[in-house]
């Protein structure tokens, strides 16, 4: 049976800095990957003072998606940092439409999985929470309608990496306890590719290089909460 995976994230680098190793393993094992970003990340760092940061970041996202082996990409066009309950209602319906379109293009039996961010926002970013809630809504709605959705995986941070909450920017919760984590994927065999994916996001290189340095090989070990 054909395996499909739609990753739903808030910003162009969310999957690169998060579950990119898992996504690379998925596509190398034959899964058809589709990616969606709610925003173009125009509120991110802009070390080169470009006027069109959003366009630059979308280009970086496309390059990273190609390295991950994505079949399609979907940019929903919302403004970075402005997502809310109001936009969530529209976003979740648009995610439903994207999934239906992907399903309609299939010519053989398939199983579809969703992947998104932990609904605690991981870093506390409200945009992350909106992406997670929209994906969760779409999963349950379409599964109830009979579409063959198998599970939804939420990329999360383990407690060993983030033992305490922080208030360096927004409130960032502590990582998840081991009992809350359902799956761990070790993608260290594709560590070099993960580094290349992170570095596709050149405009965000300060965060990217700090993430690579801080995480070491653990950048390739992804933790998930899984619901079916």
Q: What is the CATH number of the domain that holds 213?
A: 3.40.50.10320
- Contact in structure between 113 and 151 (CB atoms under 8 Å): yes
What Rg, from alpha-carbon coordinates, does the chain have?
17
Quickly count helices (H) and strands (E) in the chain.
7, 7
Q: How many domains does the chain have?
A: 1
Confidence band for 48, pLDDT divided at 50, 70 and 90: very high
Q: What is the H or E stretch that residue 211 is in?
A: helix 205-215
DSSP code of 49? -
∠ Cα 58 64 68 (to 5°):
135
Q: At what angle do helices 53-68 and 20-28 cross, to 10 degrees?
A: 40
**Average pLDDT of the chain, as a whole number:** 97
Strands 32-39 and 70-78: parallel
Mean pLDDT throughout 116-141? 96
Mean pLDDT throughout 212-220? 97
Range of 8's domain?
Answer: 2-227
Q: List all residues 6 or more positions away from 44 whose beta carbon is below 8 Å from its beta carbon.
A: 11, 13, 53, 57, 80, 203, 204
Question: In angstroms, rounded to a whole number, what is the distance separating the alpha carbons of residues 168 and 41?
Answer: 20
- Contact in structure between 12 and 37 (CB atoms under 8 Å): yes
- Contact in structure between 91 and 129 (CB atoms under 8 Å): no
pLDDT tens readout for residues 70-101: 999 999 999 999 999 999 999 999 999 999 99
Mean pLDDT throughout 143-168? 96
Predicted confidence at residue 169, as pLDDT, reads 86
Of 115, 25, 148, 126, the closest CA to residue 79 belongs to 126
């Amino acid at each position: 049976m054909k395996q499909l995976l739609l990753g739903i994230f808030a910003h162009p680098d969310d999957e690169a800095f998060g579950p990119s190793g898992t996504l690379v393993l998925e596509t190398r094992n034959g899964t058809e990957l589709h990616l969606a970003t709610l925003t173009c990340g125009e509120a991110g760092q802009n070390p080169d003072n470009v006027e069109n940061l959003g366009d630059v970041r979308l280009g970086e996202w496309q390059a990273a998606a190609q390295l991950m082996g994505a079949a399609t990409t979907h940019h929903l066009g919302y403004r970075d940092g402005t997502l809310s309950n109001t936009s969530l209602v529209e976003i979740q319906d648009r995610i439903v439409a994207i999934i239906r379109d992907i399903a309609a293009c299939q010519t053989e039996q398939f199983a579809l999985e969703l992947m998104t961010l932990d609904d605690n926002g991981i870093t506390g970013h409200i945009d992350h929470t909106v992406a997670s809630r929209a994906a969760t809504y779409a999963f349950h709605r379409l599964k109830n309608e009979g579409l063959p959705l198998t599970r939804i995986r939420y990329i999360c941070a383990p407690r060993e990496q983030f033992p305490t909450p922080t208030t360096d920017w927004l409130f960032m919760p502590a990582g998840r306890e081991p009992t809350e984590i359902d799956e761990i994927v070790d993608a260290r065999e594709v560590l070099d590719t993960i580094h290349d994916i992170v570095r596709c996001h050149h405009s965000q290189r300060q965060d990217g290089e700090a993430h690579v340095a801080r995480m070491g090989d653990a950048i390739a070990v992804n933790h998930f909460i899984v619901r079916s």
